[in-house]
Amino acid sequence: MSRVAIVTGASRGIGRATAIRLAHDFGAVAIVARGAELLTETANAVRTAGAEPLVIARDLREPEANDTVVRFTLERFGRIDALACIAGAVPQLDLFALTDEQWDDGLALKFHSARRLTIAAWEALKVSRGSVAITSGTSAYAPKASLAAVGTINAAILALAKTFADRGIKDGVQVNTILPGSVMTDRRRSMLQGYADMHGLELDAATEQFAAEAGIARYGQPEDIANVIAFLFTHGSQWVTGSALRVDGGETKML
C-alpha cells in the first residue's frame, strides 16, 4: 500500500480541500467528519483525484471516536503516514457571553480531538516516520474579548503541537501547526452575508470592505491552506517540525 493520510473536518471547507489535495500525493485518504452525506461528496472528489477514500462518520468530541478512526484506517489500509487535524468550529462569542458548556464543546472538538487522535495514531506514525499537521489560527497571536474561545483554544493548540513535536524528535514523527488567516469558508461567507444584509450592501462589497480592513489583498481560499499542509507531508519538508506556519496573506503584522 502506498502512503495513507487521515483528514478530519473533511466534509467542508479547509478539511475538504485538504483531503482532495492529498489525494494527488497519497494512495488512500481516510476522511472524517460528523456529516455522512457531505463526506460522501468529499469521497467522490478524492476518488476522482486518484486516491482510495475511506469514509468515517464520527463525532470526534466523543473520546472513543478517535481510537475508532485509527482502528478503521489500519484495518483497511495497514498504515498511517500523515494526519491532518482540521476539525473544530469554536463558538465565536464574547468572553462574558460564553457558557461553560460552550467552552467545553469548543475544547472537545478542536483541542481534545487533535490531542486524542494524534496519540491514537502515534505508534503507526512512528513506524512510517510520518507527519502531523494541526490547524490553529492567527487569533492565537491576537486574542480578542469578542472571540474569546477562538483565540484561547488556538493558542492552546500551538503549545500542544510543540509538545508533540518535542516527543516526535525522538520518535521520528514530524508535527507542525498551520495558522490560517481569513479564509472564505461557508461559515465566513454566512457571516459576511449577515453583515451585508445588516448594512444594505452587496456581498461582494462587504467582502472587499472586510478584506481592506484586515489589510489583505483578498480572502484566502481553502486550497491555499491545503497546499501548505500538502507541502508539510512531502520529503522536502522533513526538517520543518515544531513550527507554526501563518498562512494569512500578510494579515498578521508581526515577526
Residues 20-54: pLDDT tens digits?
A: 999 999 999 999 999 889 999 999 999 999 999 99
Q: Enter the DSSP assignment of 220.
A: B
Q: Would the pLDDT of 210 be above 80? A: no
Domain boundaries, the chain: 4-183+220-247
pLDDT value, residue 146: 72
**In terms of pLDDT, which residue wins out, 233 or 186?**
233
How does pLDDT run across 173-186, given as a tens digit for each residue? 999 999 998 898 87
Predicted model pTM? 0.93
pLDDT value, residue 58: 96
Q: Which CATH architecture has domain 4-183+220-247?
A: 3-Layer(aba) Sandwich (3.40)
Question: What integer is the mean pLDDT of 210-233?
Answer: 90
pLDDT value, residue 255: 66
pLDDT value, residue 140: 81
| 143, 151 contact by CB (below 8 A) | yes
Separation of alpha carbons 233 and 211, rounded Å: 30
Q: Would the pLDDT of 85 be above 90? A: yes
How does pLDDT run across 60-79, given as a tens digit for each residue? 999 999 999 999 999 999 99
